[in-house]
């Protein structure tokens, strides 16, 4: 199980982070620890990856992901981190051993920088945020 947080800017771009140990970008998030709720994991991951203390907003996406080589099946939860302006990003501190950089990305950049699955999930989360709804995804695809 995993949890992530979608931050956006005034132009409705997503904040992506560039992991030092992967060849594709992600949104802030990670695995839920034992005895930790997805929402608690989202708070912890934002603190670890951006150095920011936040209270996540509403749930935007649940995404069931099937088993694949080296990974069990799982469920991802994506929460709304709100909109950040220049002041809101001024205190971002990336852990240098984990993340190289961060950037505001539009949908084309999301597709270019992320894996296909993650891009589908993040674009769905952007749509859910804009539409005021929650999307129930399977492998990044809408279920209906």
Q: What is the DSSP string of 27-55?
A: -EEEEPPTT--HHHHHHHHHHHHH-----
Query: Which residue segments constitute the domains of the chain, with CATH numbers given?
Result: 2-142 (3.90.79.10)
Give average pLDDT by consecutive 10-residue segment, the chain, 144 residues.
98 97 96 97 98 97 94 95 96 95 98 97 98 97 86
- In this structure, the strands spanning 28-31 and 2-8 are antiparallel
- 1-11 pLDDT, tens digit per residue, is 999 999 999 99
CA separation, residue 46 to residues 30, 53, 54, 136 (Å): 9, 7, 7, 23
Q: What is the C-alpha to C-alpha distance for residues 92 and 78, in angstroms, rounded to an integer? A: 20
Give the pLDDT confidence score for residue 71 in this predicted structure: 84
The predicted pLDDT at position 68 comes to 87
Tell me, what's the pLDDT at 14? 98
Query: pTM, whole model, 2 decimals?
Result: 0.96
What is the secondary structure of 56-68 as a DSSP string?
Answer: ---EEEEEEE--B
């Amino acid at each position: 199980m995993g949890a992530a947080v979608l931050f956006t800017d005034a132009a409705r771009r997503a904040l992506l982070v560039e992991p030092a140990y992967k060849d594709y970008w992600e949104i802030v998030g990670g695995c839920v620890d034992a005895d930790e709720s997805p929402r608690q994991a989202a708070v912890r991951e934002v603190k670890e990856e951006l150095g920011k203390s936040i209270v996540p907003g509403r749930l935007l996406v649940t995404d069931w992901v099937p088993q694949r080589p080296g990974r069990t099946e799982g469920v991802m939860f994506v929460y709304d981190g709100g909109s950040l302006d220049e002041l809101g990003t001024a205190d971002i501190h990336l852990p240098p051993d984990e993340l190289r950089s961060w950037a505001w990305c539009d949908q084309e950049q999301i597709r270019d920088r992320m894996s296909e699955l993650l891009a589908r999930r993040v674009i769905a989360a952007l749509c859910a945020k804009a539409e005021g709804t929650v999307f129930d995804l399977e492998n990044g695809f809408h279920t209906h």
